[in-house]
Amino acid sequence: MLVSHFPEIFELLLKERGISGEDKEIFLNPDYSRLHDPLLLPDMAKARDRVIEAVKNNEHIVVFSDYDADGIPGAVVFSDFFKRIKYENISFYIPHRHDEGYGLNLEAIEECAARGSKVIISVDCGITDFKEVALANERGIDVIITDHHESKDELPPAFAIVNPKRKDSVYPFQGLCGSGVVFKLVQAIFAKESFGVKPGMEKWSLDMVGIATLSDMVPLVDENRILARFGLDVLRKSPRPGLLALFNNLNINQKFLTEDDVAFMITPRINAASRMGVPLDAFKLLSTTDEVEAGRLANHLEKINQERKGVVAAMVKEAKAHLGKREKLGEVIVVGNPDWKPSLLGLICNSLVEEYERPVFAWGRDGDNTLKGSCRSYDGYDLVALMEGAKESFIEFGGHKGAGGFSVTLEQISTLEEKLSEALTSLVGDGSGSEEQNNLIISLSDVGESLWQTVSQFAPFGVGNEKPVFKLKGNIKSVKQFGKEQNHLEVILTDGKKDIKAISFFSSPESYKLKADSSSCNLQAHLEKSYFRNRPEVRLRIVDITI
């Protein structure tokens, strides 16, 4: 480890993360063998045995997955598994985001029954679907729920419920994403019954688990750090035609793919399928073995993702205009329009959280005229606890600490912001939304390969393991726009001896009130290594510049 060049920074990064003693080696060198025993998850043995029984009896299995960048990769993990064991009596059901909404629904259960299903395995959903599971039971279908969302005291009457967040769970880590839970089930099955598959082959599905873990706002600590690290390793070698087509379209160098490539390039294309079209398209892209189909689907997702950007930009503009007319904003922002698609509301929330620095709830109307919304947290406030504090205002709600969904009546909307803001006063944020905690002072001359080698040992970065934010000073040597649409910002900083590039995507000089007049500036930035056009370059990613 090249830590000796910047030992003080290295130790500060460890201290910020609360890492000391033997935990240092565990954190810096994630070890696949340290993954927890799948059988510690509640109902895992029952779920494992029922799948094995279904395969041996040639029963029809339906995998019912959520439509996002956690649920769809999870469905692909199952697809990989059944392909490896050469089991074909299997089908997949991914609900239409706008018409069917999140989770199991009664019509979908009837469709599964019509397919002759004897087993339904949910992915990233199901933990609150009581009526739907009861109907499946009536139809003679065993439901295996795999989920990671917060559970209530009472559980649906499913055959098995595998969820680390169950109240009775003794699993050592609660932070798995939905695809992570699926992977644990596949691990458990192979540990008992190999079906003639070579040991360890399931590891090739870690590319999907890596995408989901990096996409779903789960903490990148403990088991998730291992899954994300090895997931990225597999992604850099993955032979999937769909991924290769995406990499080609996006000019991603597969060999040097990073967590940022996943979060900002791959994830939006997967989510675009459900937000703007048919979610099954994303599943097909990631599971296909046909290069022609992969190319067609990658192009399709790129097209609808571009359409999505335009629609979201217009909705964000409308939301900001509406908020700008208010005399006062609540501690929690609630904003919406019946014409807004619920499928796009999470993206609006992300933009508004960044702009207004507080939790945001955005609502729209779905296909059956129900008012539904998405919410995103700020500064570490637990959204589930927040919604629980104003539960009388919702028809239903759920999600994670950092992101969630809800449905409300038109009457409840009028007082929702007030009640959520009141509920917020009894909560304490954990400060994870604050960048100040990660600030480290360096000089321009420190920026280079040695510092990068020190910092990169802490990757992959994400929720619970945020990128370090460095503070430094320099003189502005040049300022310019770059990119096909000239919509990105490049600033060259100098100390008189060394020039360093700092960039900010979708920004302009006006964003930071910059002028190319060699004025001194204070910079807050992340350190990153670019491999654009196969030219390695250590550079800065701008967080903020002040003159």
Q: What is the largest CA-CA distance in the chain?
A: 76
For residues 366 and 361, the model is more confident at: 361
**Which of 46-50, 79-83, 194-198, 501-505 comes out lowest in average pLDDT?**
501-505
Distances, alpha carbon 457 to alpha carbons 1, 224, 481, in Å: 8, 16, 32
Q: Would you state the pLDDT for residue 284?
A: 97
Q: Give 399's pLDDT tier (boundaries 50, 70, 90).
A: confident
CATH 3.10.129.10 fits 7-17+435-546, yes or no: no
Q: Would you state the pLDDT for residue 422?
A: 93
* Tens digit of each residue's pLDDT (9 = 90 or more) over 278-336: 999 999 999 999 999 999 999 999 999 999 999 999 999 999 999 999 989 999 999 99
CATH 3.10.310.30 domain extents, the chain: 326-424
Q: Is residue 173's pLDDT more than 80?
A: yes
DSSP per-residue letters across 423-453: HHTT----STT-SGGGEEE--GGG-SHHHHH
Q: Give the C-alpha separation, 63 to 122, whole Å.
A: 6
- CATH for 31-198 is 3.90.1640.30
Stretch 479-492: mean pLDDT, rounded? 89
* Tens digit of each residue's pLDDT (9 = 90 or more) over 107-137: 999 999 999 999 999 999 999 999 999 999 9
Q: Give 430's pLDDT tier (boundaries 50, 70, 90).
A: low
Stretch 426-446: mean pLDDT, rounded? 69
Q: Would you state the pLDDT for residue 434?
A: 46
**Own/partner long-range contacts of 7-14 (Cβ < 8 Å, ≥24 apart):** 9/440, 9/442, 9/451, 9/454, 9/455, 10/454, 10/457, 12/440, 13/440, 13/454, 13/455, 13/458, 13/468
Q: Give 517's pLDDT tier (boundaries 50, 70, 90).
A: low
Helix/strand/coil percentages in the chain, nearest 5: 45, 20, 35
Q: Give the C-alpha separation, 345 to 343, whole Å.
A: 6
CATH 2.40.50.460 domain extents, the chain: 7-17+435-546
Nearest to 450 by CA among 71, 134, 7: 7
Query: 401 near 374, Cβ under 8 Å?
Result: no
Q: Would you state the pLDDT for residue 277?
A: 82
Q: What is the mean pLDDT of the chain?
A: 92
Q: Would you state the pLDDT for residue 1?
A: 44
Looking at domain 326-424, which CATH architecture does it have?
Roll (3.10)
Q: Give 4's pLDDT tier (boundaries 50, 70, 90).
A: low
* Tens digit of each residue's pLDDT (9 = 90 or more) over 202-212: 999 999 999 99
Q: Would you state the pLDDT for residue 521?
A: 87
For residues 412 and 135, the model is more confident at: 135
Q: Would you state the pLDDT for residue 2?
A: 44
Q: Would you state the pLDDT for residue 437?
A: 47
Q: In what order do the strands lie in the sheet with 333-336?
A: 333-336, 360-365, 371-376, 403-408, 396-399
Q: Where are the beta strands (DSSP E) in 31-116?
A: 60-65, 90-93
The proportion of the chain whose per-residue pLDDT surpasses 90, expressed as a percent, equals 76
Helix, strand or coil, per DSSP, at residue 463: coil
Q: Would you state the pLDDT for residue 152?
A: 81
* Residue 139 phi, psi dihedral angles, 5° rounding: -90, 5
